[in-house]
Chains A and B, each alone.
Chain A
Amino acid sequence: MLGYTIKRLLQMLLVLWAVSVIVFAMMTFTGDPVFMVIPIDSTQAEIDQARRILGLDRGILAQYGIFLANLLQGDFGTSYVFRQPAMDLILERLPATMEIVVLAMLLAATVAIPLGVYAGANPGRVSSRAIMSGSLLGISLPGFWVGMMLIYFFAVRWGWLPSSGRGDTVEVAGMRLSFLTVDGWAHLILPSVTLSLATLAILLRITRAGMMEVTRQDFMKFARAKGVSRRDVLFRHGLRNALIPVVTIFGLQLGDLIAFATITETIFAWPGMGKLLIDSIYRADRPVIVVYLMLVALIFVVINFLVDIVYTLIDPRISVR
C-alpha cells in the first residue's frame, strides 16, 4: 500500500512536470501576451518597459527556469493580465466550478443508477429499451446546444429560471456557495442539468452493463436456486457487484465534467475556473493556463487514486498494485 502510494505520487509529479513543459513549449506558438496588455500605438520603448514589468524580456528557457525556481518556493506565477497570483485567481473560482460539477455528478448518479439497474434487470422490456435509446441520445447531444435550448425555453420563453450568473451566495469558510440560498439553487439548476446529461447517459449504460453481467454469474443463479427472491438477489448481491465498474468510471467522468464545465460556464456566465481558462486562452495569459492545467491534473490524479482505494473496499478480491 505504501509502495503503491509512493509510486502514484511520483507518477503525479511526472505528470505535473510534463504539463508545465508542454504548456510552456506550446505557448510560444500563441500571440505575444504583451500586445494584450498595452495600447496598440505603444512605442518600442513602452513595449520594452511592459516586457520588463511582465518578466517577458528573457528567453523562453530562462522564463521556464524562473517559473520552476518560483514554483519550488510555492509561487505559481503571476497573471499577465490581472497582475495577481495565478493560483489565487483559480482558487477563488474553484468553489463555483465544483458546485456545478458535484451537483451534475449527483444528479447523474441519482437518475442513472436506478434506471440502469432497472434496464439491466429487465433487459427485454420496452421500457428498458426506451431507457437505453434515451441514454444513447444523451451521449449523442452536443452539451452546449442543450444548454442553449434550456436557456431559450426555461429562461426566455417561460421565464421560470434565471439565464446566467450565480445568484445569491453565502460565504462559508472563505468560499462562496450558491446551494445554501433559494436564489442560488435557481441559478444552479440549468447549468448543472446541462452538464450532467452526458455523464448521466454514460453512468446509466455502465450500470446496466454491470447489472447484466452480474445476472449471468453463477452466484446469482445459485442464490436464485436457493429460493432467495429475485428482488433480493438483484439488490443484495447483484447491485454491489454491478456498481464496481461505475465507481471506476466515476473518476474519469469527474475529469470530463470539469473539462466540459468550461463550455457550460461560458454559456451560463457561471463565474468558475473554466470560464477563467477560456478567457485566459483568448488573452494568451500563460501563467493562468499553466496553473489551471496543473491543478486539473492534480485533481484528476488524486481522484483516481481515491477511486482505486474505494475499489479495493467494495471488491475485496482486488488489491492495489
Chain B
Amino acid sequence: MTAVLSSEFVHNWTRNASALAGTAILIVFAVVVAFGPMLVAQDPYDIASLELMDSYKPPAWLDGGDARYLLGTDGQGRDVLASIVYGTRVSVFIGLAAMLASCLIGTTLGLLAGFHGGWLDAVIMRVADVQLSFPSMLIALFLMSAFGTGIDKVLIALTAVGWVVYARTVRGSTLSEVSKEYVQAARVAGLRDGKIIRRHLLPNVLTPVIVVATVQVGVFILIEASLSFLGVGVPITQPSLGLLIKNGFDVLFSGLWWTSVFPGLVIMALVFGINLFGDFLRDELNPRLR
C-alpha cells in the first residue's frame, strides 16, 4: 500500500511512456464520465426529446451530415457522440461498481479463508474451484439469461464471477503472512482477530489486489459489452458501449458504419488505457508477477 505513495513510484510513473499514455487516456475518460452530460447538447435517455426525423444522419463532415450531430445519429435520432458519452458512463460505472463489489466480497472471503482456515476455508475454496471450472463469460451469460436484462442484474452477474480471483489471491497472501513472526507476535500479545486482520494482514495483502482490480475493470467492461451484444446485458433504453455496437451491427452493411465503428473505437481506447495503466502498476508493485 505504501508503495503506491513512495517517491520512487511517482518517479517511475513520470518516466514511463506507456504509464503516462495510460494515465492520459484515463484522465480523458474521467473527464467524460464526470462532466460528459454538460459537454454534449442532447440527453439520449430523454426519450421525449428525440426527433425521429433526424435518424441515421451521417457524421457532420460527410454529405448529408448535420453540424448538430458531430458523429451522426442512430435510428432513433440519438446523437452518436452523446450516446457514446452516456454509454461510456454506463460501461465505466458497471466496470467500477462490479469490480468494487467483487473486490470487497472476494477480499473478505479470502481473508476469512486464510485466517480462519478449517471448514470455512474448505467451503470457500471448493466453491471457487467449481466456479473456476467455467470461463467467467459463460457463467455471466448463463446468469443473465436467467435474470433478464438490467444494469443491476449485470452487476450481480459480474460480481458473481469476479470475486473468486480476489478470494484466491488474498487467501494465498494471507496464509503466507499469517505464518510470519509479527502476526504470531500480535496473536501472542492478545490482539483480537479483527484487529489483526485490519491492522496487519489487510495492508500487506492489498498490493496484488490493486493490480488485479485495475485489470478487472477492463475485463468487466468487455464482458458487459459481450453480454449486451448478445442481447442479455443492459436495457436498450440505457445503452452501454457494447449495446451501441450491437445496435450499429444491425445496420453496418447498409453503409451506416458510424453507429458501430465509433463506439467500438471508444471501448478499445478505454480498455487499452486501463490495461496500459494496469500493466505499469503490476510491474511496479509486484515485479515477480511480470
Contacts and interface: CB of A to CB of B under 8 A. Distances in A.
Are chains A and B touching in the complex at the 8 Å CB cutoff? Answer: yes
A142 B248 CA distance: 14
A136 B130 CA distance: 29
Given A26-B142, A281-B232, A255 B134 contact: yes
Interface in A112-163: 133, 136-137, 139-145, 148-149, 152, 156
A212 B290 contact: yes
Contacts of B275: 136, 139-140
Interface stretch (A56-64, A85-93, A260-268): A260-268
Contacts of A29: 146-148
B1 to A, nearest CB: 24
Interface stretch (A10-18, A103-111, A188-196, A221-229): A10-18
Tell me the interface secondary structure of chain A in the complex: helix
Contacts of A263: 226, 229-230
Interface stretch (A74-82, A174-182, A294-302, A310-318): A294-302
Tell me the interface secondary structure of chain B in the complex: helix
B253 A156 contact: yes
B147 A137 contact: no
Given A142-B242, A152-B253, A297-B134, A133 B18 contact: yes
B143 interface: yes
Contacts of B226: 142-144, 260, 263
Contacts of A142: 222, 225-226, 229, 242, 245, 264, 267-268
A156 B253 CA distance: 8
A27 B148 CA distance: 11
A2 B130 CA distance: 22
Given A15-B133, A209-B290, A300-B134, A145 B264 contact: yes
Contacts of B279: 136
A214 interface: no
A297 B133 contact: yes
In the complex, which of the residues A11, A19, A145 has the most CB atoms of chain B within 10 Å of its own CB atom?
A145
A260 B137 CA distance: 7
Contact of B245 (A18, A140, A145): A145
B145 interface: yes
A249 interface: no
A94 interface: no
A141 B146 CA distance: 27
Contact of B134 (A139, A289, A293): A293
Interface string A239-270: 00000000000000001101110110010000
Given A142-B267, A152-B252, A259-B135, A30 B145 contact: yes
Contacts, number: 114
Contacts of A137: 268, 272
Query: Which 3 A-B residue pairs are closest in the complex by CB-CB distance?
Result: A259-B135, A140-B271, A140-B272
Interface of B: 18, 126, 129-130, 133-138, 141-143, 145-148, 218, 222, 225-226, 229-230, 232, 242, 245, 249, 252-253, 257, 260-261, 264, 267-268, 271-272, 274-276, 279, 290
Given A14-B126, A15-B129, A142-B226, 19 more contacts: A19-B130, A27-B146, A136-B275, A142-B222, A142-B225, A142-B267, A142-B268, A144-B249, A149-B264, A255-B135, A256-B135, A262-B141, A263-B226, A266-B230, A293-B134, A293-B142, A296-B138, A297-B133, A300-B135
18 contacts: A14-B130, A26-B146, A29-B146, A29-B148, A30-B145, A137-B268, A140-B218, A145-B245, A256-B135, A258-B135, A260-B226, A262-B137, A262-B141, A263-B226, A278-B230, A293-B138, A297-B133, A304-B133
Interface of A: 11, 14-15, 18-19, 23, 26-27, 29-30, 133, 136-137, 139-145, 148-149, 152, 156, 209, 212-213, 255-256, 258-260, 262-263, 266, 278, 281, 289, 293, 296-297, 300-301, 304
